[in-house]
Amino acid sequence: MSKRSARLGIAGATCALGLVAALLTGCGGSDGGSSDGVTKLTFAASTFGDPGRGPLLTQWIEEFNKSQDKVEVSAAAVPYPTFGQTVLTQMGSGKGPDLVRFDMPEFEAAADAGLIAPLDDLVDVSKYNLLKQPDQFMVHDGVRHGIIFEASNYAMFYNADLIPQPPTTYEQFFATAKSLTKGDVYGLAFRQTEAEEAGVWQDIFNYVYGFGGAWSDGKNLTINSAENLKGLQAFKDLYDANVIPRGADAATFRRMFAEGKVGMELNNGGYVTATRGQNAKLNFSVAPIPFPVRKQGAILAPIVVNEASKGKEAAATFIRWTLEPQNQVKLQEILGASSVATTTERSAESLQKTPFLPVFDQLTESSLPQIVLGFEAKTPDIRKVIVENVVAALQGKVDLRSALDRAQQQASELAR
């Protein structure tokens, strides 16, 4: 991990987005409010709005509340596309939720800006059998800023009724997507608009790393490398082949997948529960992404404590509760094919219900968080530049090589 840089210019922004502000108790969740001796906390996460997992996660939190007489946690659902900026803005103003489930780019930015409370004195992690590979990204310069809430590897979801044998090479992947696309059925789906910037970043990450590329070498940005161009050209070739529902957002094409109108999608393990929530009868399975290099993205979602919270110890009580073995197992069952912070064992019942769970588990060692290594805190800014240029190339405004050259130049200036 790189040295933490100066505080970001997040502070000073006003509490925005009326509905979200109301959910986060008027941007005042960080007051750790106490009533009748009970410290009331707000826990913000985009997953609380997930139609499949959200209600189950809320029930899980209620189990915590029932087990306590001094702490009460309320769930606040913030839409994924606006989650990071909304919560960072509020935390930068000294307000916002007490507990936050961040994705890695926003986690890095918040940690760098001093918006996250160090956990070393609040949670003794030596008591727990933490997963080493993902957990290493929770520590910066020897200071722990988060605990893994969810670690979810990316794989290829496919409709087993449409695709009896999953593709094992990119060439087969392309051919399968093309052969399935007819009428109102598409072979593939992915995000391709600036409005879903964070989602586009997640999608193209698999193509870059799956073709041997990387956003950096740890010290220098490598956005316009030959390997990155090759991977993103593969992404663009699929877009140009019209095998995806162009313009459809993630919510739309995931519903289409559940309805049998999309054959394949690259997604993370958390999508299993959401898919079943939309169509319990869908016959789908999962296989490793069939790209030349076995390296793919992972959703690492830490749970953190807002530095501005006045209920830090109460927040730590909740985190310690989540790390208890029985609560980790329950959380993993809710999250589906994702992993949690600690080593857990899949039950025979869960393996019978979801035989492909080992596919996700076996990808942990080759999965990477969707950040720019060496430029972790700058990832949101670099992401924006890359996505803008890639989308411009998809739309034919510029050729892909020129787009990556421009992204390299712009991102390098930002990273100075």
* Tokens 């029930």 belong to residue: 59
Region 28-52: what's the mean pLDDT?
A: 80
53 and 109 in contact (C-beta within 8 Å)? Answer: no
Lowest-confidence range among 12-26, 165-179, 314-328? 12-26
Region 72-77: what's the mean pLDDT?
A: 96
**Residue 11 banded pLDDT, cuts 50, 70, 90:** very low
Euclidean distance between CA atoms 112 and 6, whole angstroms: 7
Structure tokens at 360: 């996700």
Domains 18-151+298-368 and 154-295+371-415 share a fold: yes
Region 393-397: what's the mean pLDDT?
A: 98
What residues contact residue 186 under an 8 Å CB cut-off, 6+ apart? 177, 180, 243, 244, 245, 253, 256, 261, 262, 263
Domain 18-151+298-368 of CATH type 3.40.190.10: yes
Euclidean distance between CA atoms 278 and 131, whole angstroms: 31
Q: Share the mean pLDDT of the chain.
A: 91
User: How confident is the model at residue 13, as a pLDDT?
Assistant: 34
User: How confident is the model at residue 393, as a pLDDT?
Assistant: 98
Euclidean distance between CA atoms 18 and 22, whole angstroms: 6
Euclidean distance between CA atoms 261 and 277, whole angstroms: 17
pLDDT higher than threshold 50 for residue 352: yes
User: How confident is the model at residue 32, as a pLDDT?
Assistant: 61
Lowest-confidence range among 233-237, 273-277, 357-361, 393-397? 273-277
User: How confident is the model at residue 180, as a pLDDT?
Assistant: 98
pLDDT higher than threshold 60 for residue 6: no
Region 276-291: what's the mean pLDDT?
A: 96
pLDDT higher than threshold 70 for residue 35: no
pLDDT tens figures, 307-345: 999 999 999 999 999 999 999 999 998 988 999 999 998
**Residue 12 banded pLDDT, cuts 50, 70, 90:** very low
| Extents of the domains making up the chain | 18-151+298-368, 154-295+371-415
Give the CATH superfamily of 154-295+371-415.
Periplasmic binding protein-like II (3.40.190.10)
Euclidean distance between CA atoms 343 and 32, whole angstroms: 31
pLDDT higher than threshold 90 for residue 365: no
pLDDT tens figures, 90-136: 999 999 999 999 999 899 999 999 999 999 999 999 999 998 888 99
Region 19-42: what's the mean pLDDT?
A: 61
pTM of the model: 0.79
**Residue 34 banded pLDDT, cuts 50, 70, 90:** low
